[in-house]
Amino acid sequence: MTRDLTTFPISQNARFKLLSSGFFIKEDLNGFTPNELATETGLTVEEALDVLEIVFPASSNSESDILSCSALDILQDEKSRSSITTFCKSFDSILNGGIPPMKITELCGCPGAGKTQMCLQLCVSVQIPKSLGGIDGEAFFIDTEGSFVAQRLVQIANGCINECKANSQDSDVKDFTIDKVLKGIYYYHCKSYTEVIAQVNLLHQFLEEHKKVALIVIDSIAFHFRYGFDGSYSLRARLLNGIVQSLVKVANDHKVAVVLTNQMTTKIHEDGSSNLIPALGESWGHACAIRCILSWDEEKRQAHLFKSPSMAEGKANYTITKDGWQQDSDQLLSRIIVIDEFWARVYEPELKRQSTEWEHAGSPKRQKVHQNPSPVKLMVIKAYDVRGFIVCRFVPHGRTVTAQYYRDFLVQRGVRDKCPDLVDSAIILHDNVRPHKAEREHKATPRLGMGRIGAPTILSRHFSL
C-alpha cells in the first residue's frame, strides 16, 4: 500500500523540500541514505536522517502493520498474554488477574506501604514457569532510592519457589531455583534524574538484547523529580511526559509490563484541611494507565485500584510476610458464604396450659402435652458468612431445588441485598452440590466475579468451594 508523505509527522520545511524535489510517497524514499536524500532535496543530513527515521521507524516493520491492526487483533493479542501475579489473590482479582503487560501501572503509597516489596515480588513472580500459569520471563529493576535489598529478594524468591514446588512436580519447576531467579533480575541504580531519562531511553536497546524481559520496574519515579525543580515545574512535567511516552512505546513494542512506584504528598486545601495525594502533580495523574494506592495503618494494609481503563474501582487487603506479599487471610475468610439446608415441619403444639384442666379424683388420666408434626416437610436454605446470618428461605412445597434456584436465591435475594461488597468477590462454600453437574453455576460464578477454589478429590463429593 502506498502512503502519501504528507500523512507523516514531518516538519513543514522538510515536507516542502521533499515535495518540491519530487518525493511524494513513502516508496519514493526507498533505498536512500541520509546523505543522498540531503543532496537530492537540500535538507541537512540531520534533517534527512530525521525524515527517514519517521518514515521507516526502526522498531516497526511498516505502517501497514499499524493500519491492519483491528480491535479483534488487539483483543486476541491481549488474551494471549498473561498478567503477572502479585501473589495476593484479592489484589490480582481487582486487577483482573495481576499486573497487565503492555501497560504502565503506578503503585503509590506512604513510606512502608509495601511498594518496594511489591516490586521485588513482581520481579520474582514474572519468572514463574509456564507450566504453572506463569510467564517464565525476566525483570529489569531500575532503582532510584537505593532500597533494593538482595537478601530480601532471596526471601521472597524462596517463598515463591516453595509455593510452586508444592503445586507441581514438573521438571521446569525443579529448575526454578534461587540462582535462576536472581540471574533473571537485571538491576541499575540511577543516582540522578538525568540517569533515569538516559536509562529509559536505552530500554529499547536493552530489551532487544534481553528478549526474555517481561517486566520493567522503576522504584521510584518520584525520588529524583520531587525536589530541585522549584519554579520550573513545567520543565519537570515535560521531562516526566517524555519518560512516560518512551515507556508507553517500549511497553507496546516489546509487550512488557511497566511498574512505577510513586510517593505521596500532602495537599492543603483552601479551607485549611489537608489530605494525602500521589506526588508529582495533577498532570502526572493522567500519565499511567493504572493507578493503585497502597495504604497502611497499624491494623491493616489495603490496596485501592484507583484508576484503570478496563476495571472498576476496587479494594483488596494484603499483608507482607517473610515470603512477600500475601492475601490478608482475614479477608479470605470474610469472602466465604456458607449455604446450608435442612428439612422443617410445621408443628401444632398443644401448650401445657391448654391441656391443664380441673379433674375429679376418679377422672381418667390425661395424656401428656404432645406436638403434632404437619404431614408436609419444607426445605429451608440458610446462608451465612463470618459476620453472621445473611438470609434464609423456605422452599415452596413441590419446588425442585436446582443450581439455578440457588443462583437466584443468592444473587437476587441474599448477597446482593445484604452484602453488596461480596457480590464481586464471594466464595460459595456449599456442602452438597455436585460441582460437575452444576453447569449453570459454573457459568454464572465467573461472570459475577465469584471465586472457585479447586477442592481435593476426596472432598469434592461433599464440598464445592
Ligand X SMILES: Nc1ncnc2c1ncn2[C@@H]1O[C@H](COP(=O)(O)OP(=O)(O)OP(=O)(O)O)[C@@H](O)[C@H]1O
Footprint of Mg ion on this chain (CB under 5 A)?
115-116, 147
Is residue 278 packed enough to be buried (19+ CB in 10 Å), middle (13-18) or exposed (0-12)? buried
- Residue 353 identity (one-letter amino acid): R
Size of the site for ligand X (CB under 6 A): 16
Q: Which of 113, 303, 426, 438 binds ligand X (CB under 6 A)?
A: 113
Cα 46 from chain centre? 44
Which one of ligand X, Mg ion, none interacts with residue 131, CB within 5 to 8 A by kind? Answer: none
Query: Smallest gap, in angstroms, from Cβ of residue 320 to ligand X?
Result: 4
Which of 154, 338 has the CB closer to ligand X? 154
Provide CB contacts within 8 A for 80, sequence distance 6+: none
DSSP H helix total and E strand total for the chain:
18, 15
The partner in contact with residue 112, picked from Mg ion, ligand X, none with C-beta cut-offs of 5 to 8 angstroms by kind, is ligand X
Which of 142, 160, 8, 167 is CA-nearest to residue 84?
160
Distance between CA atoms of 398 and 104, rounded to whole angstroms? 56
Q: Which three cell numbers stand for residue 127?
A: 519468572
Taking CB under 6 A as the criterion, the residue among 147, 168, 241, 295 binding ligand X is: 147
Does residue 136 contact residue 211 with C-beta atoms inside 8 Å? Answer: no
Q: How far is the CB of 319 from ligand X (least distance, A)?
A: 8
Phi, psi of 13 (to 5 degrees): -60, -45
Stretch that binds ligand X, among 52-60, 115-123, 126-134, 346-354 (CB under 6 A): 115-123
Among 85, 117, 127, 331, binds ligand X (CB under 6 A): 117
| Shorter beta-carbon distance to Mg ion: residue 203 or 218 | 218
User: Residue 111 — left, alpha, or beta (φ > 0 → left; ψ -120 to 50 → alpha)?
Assistant: beta
Q: Is 41 in the site for ligand X (CB under 6 A)?
A: no
Strands 257-262 and 213-219, by their bridges, are parallel
User: Is the Cβ of residue 209 or residue 298 nearer to ligand X in the bound state?
Assistant: 298
Contact segment (CB under 6 A) with ligand X among 13-21, 110-118, 352-360, 411-419 equals 110-118
Q: Does 278 bind ligand X (CB under 6 A)?
A: no
Is the CB of 138 or the CB of 219 nearer to ligand X?
219
Residue 322 interacting with ligand X (CB under 6 A): yes
* Contact assessment for residue 211 and residue 98, using Cβ atoms and an 8 Å cutoff: no
Residue 114's binding partner out of ligand X, Mg ion, none, with CB under 5 to 8 Å set by partner kind? ligand X
Contact call for residue 454 and ligand X (CB under 6 A): no
Residue of the chain from 200, 244, 320, 415 that contacts ligand X (CB under 6 A): 320
**In a 3-state reduction of DSSP, which class is residue 461?**
coil
Pick between residue 322 and residue 399 the one whose CB is nearest to ligand X. Answer: 322
Residue with smaller CB distance to ligand X, 41 or 261 = 261
The CA-based angle 386-437-433, given to 5 degrees, is: 30
Which CB atom, from 41 or from 117, has the smaller least distance to ligand X?
Answer: 117
As given in the structure block, the three cell numbers for residue 355 are 391441656
Nearer residue to Mg ion within complex by CB, 115 or 407: 115
3-state secondary structure of 396: coil
Nearer to ligand X among residue 111 and residue 398 (C-beta): 111
Report the length, in residues, of the chain: 465
Give the per-residue contact string, 154-193, with ligand X (x = CB under 6 A; - = no).
-x--------------------------------------
Query: Residue 430: which of 457, 460, 388 has the closest Cα?
Result: 460
Least distance (Å) from ligand X to the CB of residue 177? 20
> Alpha-carbon distance 14 to 31, whole Å?
18
Check residue 321 for interaction with ligand X (CB under 6 A). Answer: yes
The helix/strand/coil state of 445 is: helix
The contact set with ligand X (CB under 6 A) reads 109, 111-117, 145, 147, 152, 155, 263, 320-322
